[in-house]
Amino acid sequence: MNSLIPIHNYTIKITSSSLDQSRENLDPPNINSNNAQNNNNDQNGLCSFRSIKDLLNILVPIWKKGSSPIFVFGDTIKLKLGGDGHIVTNQYSHVMFTVCLLNEKDEVLKPSNQYCILLYIGKEKYEYLSLAVSQIINELDEIKDGFKDCDDVIWTVELFFSGDWKFMALVMGIKAANSIFFVYIVNVQKNYAPI
């Protein structure tokens, strides 16, 4: 699958100008191709990305063929995106994003059915994650209204997100659990408890 779905390697560098930069306007000074060797062996900011659309282009024909296809024409592709960070050593932390097809029912829990779409070496901070996930967000914006496969069939796509509160707050831009207005949809203060 590695040869069918290319993996793009980048280096994410945070500068004062990139903190104010929006996701749509991601320019090469902030995300650089990782072709140059790093002299100081610092791996923070290294990011490998696999396209969700390329992944779907390979997997949708497989999922709709066979004696018992996972989905047939008219079904909705239900994608679950998840991720979390992990401290590996006192110097390095890893952040991984995965995607899986919820239509696979019980098979979805198998590790072989979890597809890594982003691996990032660095801290689990909004400034870094907003740049790291910008490609994923752009692709999700493109496929949320439908995905067109290689047979020109347009599939409706339903997206689900999972992760711990800190991770979801960082990626989705929701507030932390200890903020005053912590509920995403309702604007109620946490010290207001009408019981």
3-state secondary structure 111-136: HHHCEEEEEEECCCCHHHHHHHCHHH
Would you say residue 38 has pLDDT above 60? no
Average of per-residue pLDDT across 76-96: 86
Are 23 and 139 in contact by the 8 Å Cβ rule? The answer is: no
pLDDT band, residue 35 (cuts 50/70/90)? very low
Would you say residue 116 has pLDDT above 70? yes
pTM of the model: 0.72
- The tokens for 192 are 């207001």
pLDDT band, residue 42 (cuts 50/70/90)? low
Q: Which residues pair with 77 in a beta bridge?
A: 157
Q: Which residue has the higher pLDDT, 34 or 12?
A: 12
Range from 1-15, 82-96, 157-171, 180-194 carrying the lowest mean pLDDT? 180-194
Euclidean distance between CA atoms 193 and 195, whole angstroms: 6
pLDDT band, residue 100 (cuts 50/70/90)? very high
Average of per-residue pLDDT across 150-165: 88
Euclidean distance between CA atoms 116 and 38, whole angstroms: 25
In the sheet with 154-162, reading across from the earlier edge strand, the strands are 31-33, 7-12, 46-50, 115-121, 93-101, 76-87, 154-162, 147-148
Q: Percentage of residues in the chain with pLDDT exceeding 70?
A: 70
Would you say residue 183 has pLDDT above 80? no
Would you say residue 92 has pLDDT above 90? no
Residue 192, pLDDT score: 58
Q: Quick one: which of 53, 172, 185, 162 has its CA closest to 97?
A: 162
Q: Which residue has the higher pLDDT, 105 or 78?
A: 78
Range from 30-34, 63-67, 139-143, 176-180 carrying the lowest mean pLDDT? 30-34
Q: Which residue has the tokens 């005053």?
A: 180
| Angle between helix 52-63 and helix 134-143 axes, rounded to 10 deg | 50
Range from 74-78, 81-85, 120-124, 191-195 carrying the lowest mean pLDDT? 191-195
